[in-house]
A and B are shown apart, each in its own frame.
Chain A
């Protein structure tokens, strides 16, 4: 089973603060990476993708990928209470087959 490790397991940040979520993977053939967000009682929803090494910014969210280091991260700037959710890192080798998910990071943003 391919490994996707996420850290930390849980994270509490104040409103307006920066949240940083980390993900490491074991398979150097991994090509496609996604961050998903899941609010309580809902299915996971795609937040953003990153397929190339470097940074990708979408609004308050910045993803970073380093395939050589087998590492991807997500940074949430100016965190809002509505960002409180479970965040999953997911990866796929070909993009057209199974996506492997980490166990998730539970983010709580305190007003």
Chain B
């Protein structure tokens, strides 16, 4: 069974630039999560979806971050105007209707 696929694996931006991250969850998983993981810290939830609906985006910096999952399968997380403080690994994860989360390898973002 294929795991959660993310692209790109790495991104380097200057402040003010935009970037998009793409995620393909495990087939059949209805719940999809985006986490931000600063260096040497645990994953922190940004937003999660059940099918195409946003369930919780309260931790998403809404002025610069956006996330969509239009058909309830793949998802895109976009940062409109990156800041140095956004430097982190962005992890996508998916879950079936069971208490377990499966992570992708992440996108390591560096904003200079």
Contact = CB atoms under 8 A, between A and B. Distances in A.
Interface of A: 4, 6, 32, 34, 36, 41-46, 49, 51, 88, 90, 92, 94-104, 106
B102 A46 contact: yes
Interface in B1-36: 4, 31, 33, 35
Interface of B: 4, 31, 33, 35, 40-45, 48, 55-56, 91, 93, 95, 97-106
Contacts of B42: 4, 6, 88, 101-104
Contacts of A90: 101
A97 B55 contact: yes
A99 B32 CA distance: 12
Given A43-B103, A44-B103, 12 more contacts: A36-B103, A43-B91, A43-B104, A49-B99, A95-B98, A95-B99, A96-B31, A97-B56, A99-B45, A101-B42, A101-B43, A101-B44
A42 B105 contact: yes
Given A88-B43, A103-B41, A103-B42, A96 B97 contact: yes
A94 B43 CA distance: 19
A82 B45 CA distance: 28
A102 B41 CA distance: 8
Contacts of B99: 32, 34, 49, 51, 92, 94-96
A12 to B, nearest CB: 16
Nearest to A42: B105
Contacts of B106: 42-43
A46 B100 contact: yes
A4 B44 CA distance: 11
B33 A34 contact: no
